[in-house]
Structure 1
C-alpha cells in the first residue's frame, strides 16, 4: 500500500510554502502541489523549484487565465457583482476555479486529501472547502493553519529561513497579498488598524492619483451581450483586454479601494484592493444597462446583483441558487450590446458617451425643445391614480385623528 497523497493548494507565498514543508514533516504522505495561474505575477517565478525545495514530490502548474476570464469573470461582470457595493470580488471569484482545479488534480493523481493554506478566520477556507465538498464530497480537506503551532507570520518567516524556503514576505513588509487578473487584495501589517491610511508601499500596481498623468486617457469599450470584446475598435482576447485595462487604469490611478467588510465567519476586516480593469468595466457595463434595460428589469437586477455578490463572497458559486440567478442575469444580457466611452483621469472614471442599437433612450421623449413628443397632459391623470393609495391612507388617518382615535 502506497503513501497517502495530499494535493496542496500552492501559491508560492509564505503560508503555503511553509505548509508544504510542515506537511512533509508531520505526515507520511506524498505531497503534490497544485498551482493555478489566474494572472498573478511574481509568485509564479520559480514556483516549481520552490515547491520541490519545500518538500513536494510533484508540482502541477496550470494556466487558467482564459478559463478564469470567460467562465468566471465575465459571468460576475454580467451580474454586476460588487460585494457590499464596492469590492469586485477578485479573490472570491478565483476560489471556485481553484477548488475545481484541485479536485481535478486529486482525482487524476488518486489523492484522498486536499490541503489549503487558509486561516481559521478567513473567507477562503469557506470558499475552498464548500466548493470541494460540492464537487467531490468523498475527498477529505485539511487546513494546517487552523491547528499548527505557528502563532504569527513572523514565526512562519523564521521557519522558512531555517529550512531555506524562499518566500517574498519579510518582517519589514508583512503584507499578505493575493493577486489575479481581476484585482489585488492586500491585508495584514499596519492595514489591520483601520485608523491608519494605507501606506504607499502597500499598493502594488496603481499610481497614486495625485501623481497620475495630467492628461486623461479616453477608452471606448465595445460590449456584445454584456461581454467586453473590443477597446477603441480593436478586438481583444479576454485576457489581453483585462490586462490592457489594468495597465492603462493603473497608470491613471484608477481602481484603489479601501474598505471595511463583513467576512463570512462573522467578523469585520479591513482590506485594500487594486482593481483597475474591474472598476472600469463595471462602470461601463452598468452605464450600458441603464441605457438598454427597461426600468423594472434594471431595478430587479440590482437586488439580484447584490445577492449574487453575496453568494460569490460566501463561497457558494456552485450552489443551485447561484445557477438559477445567473440564468436570469443571462436573459438580461441578450440585448446588452453597444459602446461606452470613459475618461480615465487621476483615479476617476468618467462616462463620456454611450451608444447601442438596443437603446431605450428616445430623445424626442426626453427633450425639452420644440421636438418634444411627450404627452404632458396625460401626467395629470397618471399622478392622480399613482398617488391615490397614499391620498386614501392620509384621509383615513386624518379622520381617525379628528375622532381622537390613534
Structure 2
C-alpha cells in the first residue's frame, strides 16, 4: 500500500520541475504542500514566487535568506581549500545543496511535515546531495522524489503537464535550458549543449557577464585582501562576504571571467556537459591560491593540494555532513592561519593575471632568493646537498655498471 502523507515540505524554486510538483503532490497524495524557497543569491528568480506557489496549490510559502550562511559556512571553506572538481568546476551547485537540505529539515520539523520533497532528476547529482543532507539531520524522514516515480519522462512532458493545468512558466520549449543560479554561479545544461560538438551560444545564454570577445579592450585592476584565507576587502574597502562576491561577480562578468565549458563525470556514472558562469569565484580562487604561494611552506602547500582534490570529490558527491569533511576542513583551517595579505590582479578578456602581492606573513625573502650577493646562503653548501640528495641515483648507476 502506498504511503499516505498529510503535509509535505517542498524545496521550491519556481522553476519547471517544482512549478508542477505542487499540483502533482496534491493529485497523488491529497496532501498539504508547504513550499520552501531558499534564498542563496538567485535574486530576481525569487520575484513573484509566493504568489505563484499559493496560486498553484501550496498552503504556505516560506522564504529563507541563507546568503550569509551560504558564503561563510560553505563557499569560503571551499575557497580556503582551493577545492576544484576535475580541474574546472568550482562546485557552485554542490555547495548550495547541503545548506538547503539542512534548512528543509528544520522547516519540516517546525511545521510538522511528514515528508520532504525535491525536484531533482534521477539522473543527476543533486538528488544525492539533498538526500544525504536530509538524512544527516532527519535520518527517518521520508523523501519524495517525483522524477523517480511519476510518468513524466522529459521536460517537454513537464511543459505539457503545466499547460494542461494553467501553471505559469518562465520558459518555453525553445529556451528550455536546465539552469541553476545562486550567489556563486550559474549553470546551463540541456538543448544544444547536450552534444559536446556544439559550441555554446555564449552571446545568448550568458547572464552573469559577457564573452571575452565582448569584454573591454582595456584591463581592469583590482586588489583583494585576505585574513586567515578569507577575503575581507576589495580595493581597500572592507566588505562582508555576500557584498564582496556580488562586487566580484560584477567586475569579473564585465571582463569575461569565469566561463567554463565542461564535460564532467557525474556521481551517478554518466558524463554530463554543461556551461558554468562563476566570475567572482574564479577571481577569488586565483587570488587565494596566489597568496598561499608566499604564505604557506612547501610541504604543507603540496600536501594541501592533495587534500583539495579529495575534498572537491567529497563535496561534489554530497558528503558535506560527514566526519571526513569535518576533519579535512579542520586541517585546511590550520593551514590558513598565516594566509594574510593583499593580492593585485589584472582582469582582461577572460584572463586573470597576477599583478603583485604583499603579506606581513610572507615566507619569501628577496634577499635570500636574489641573484645578487646575499648574507644567509652559501652557494658552496649546495655541493654537499646534491651529493647526498643524488646518492641513490649514483648507487643505482654503479650497480648497473657492475652488471654490465
TM-score, structure 2 as length reference: 0.97
Provide the residue aligned with 1:123 in structure 2. 125
> 1:347 corresponds to which residue?
350
- Shift of the alpha carbon at 1:104? 0.4
Partner of 2:107: 105
1:51 deviates by 1.1
What is the CA–CA distance in structure 2 between the aligned matches of 1:170 and 1:275, rounded to whole Å?
25
Contact persistence 2:5–2:29 (CA under 8 A):
no
Which of residues 325, 330, 339 in structure 2 aligns to 1:327? Answer: 330
Aligned equivalents of 2:348 and 2:391: distance in 1?
A: 48
How many Å separate the matches in 1 of 2:149 and 2:402?
67
**Paired residue for 2:219, among 202, 205, 216?**
216
Equivalent position SS for 2:390: helix
Q: Is 1:234 matched with 2:237?
A: yes
Residue of structure 1 in register with 2:371 after alignment: 368
Residue 208 of structure 2 contacts residue 279 of structure 2 at CA under 8 Å; is this kept in 1? no
Asked if structure 2 preserves the Cα contact closer than 8 Å seen for 1:364 and 1:374, the reply is: no
Change (3 A) 1:399 1:116: farther
Mark the runs of 5 or more structure 2 residues left unpaired by the alignment.
none
The number of aligned residues is: 400
1:238 positional shift: 1.1
Give the one of 243, 247, 250 matched to 1:244: 247
Deviation (angstroms), 1:330: 0.3
Q: Using the TM superposition, give the Cα deviation of residue 165 of structure 1 relative to its aligned residue in structure 2, in angstroms.
A: 1.5
Shift of 1:397: 4.1
Q: Distance in 2 between matches of 1:304 and 1:5?
A: 42
Whole-angstrom CA distance in 2 between matches of 1:138 and 1:332: 37
Aligned-pair CA distance for 1:399:
3.5
Counterparts of residues 191-202 of structure 1 (less than 5 Å): 191-200=193-202, 201-202=204-205
Local SS of the residue matching 2:319 = coil
Match of 2:385 among 370, 382, 385: 382
Work out which of the residue numbers 324, 336, 339 in structure 1 matches 2:339: 336
Deviation at 1:119, TM superposition (A): 0.6
Aligned-pair CA distance for 1:170: 1.1
Question: Please, what is the CA RMSD of the aligned residues?
Answer: 1.3
Q: 2:305 aligns with which of 294, 298, 302?
A: 302
Please name the residue that 2:188 is paired with. 186
Quick check: 1:366–1:372 contact (8 Å CA) kept in 2? no
Output aligned runs, 1:6-405, within 5 Å. 6-200=8-202, 201-371=204-374, 373-400=376-403, 402=404
1:223 alignment partner, SS class:
strand
User: Secondary structure of 2:223's match?
Assistant: strand
TM-score, normalization by structure 1: 0.96
Q: Distance in 1 between matches of 2:381 and 2:86?
A: 40
Gaps of 5+ in 1: none
Alignment partners' CA distance in 1, 2:374 and 2:387: 27
Give the distance between the partners of 1:61 and 1:100, measured in 2 at CA: 14
Q: Please tell me whether the aligned partners of residues 15 and 117 of structure 1 are also in contact (alpha carbons under 8 angstroms).
A: yes
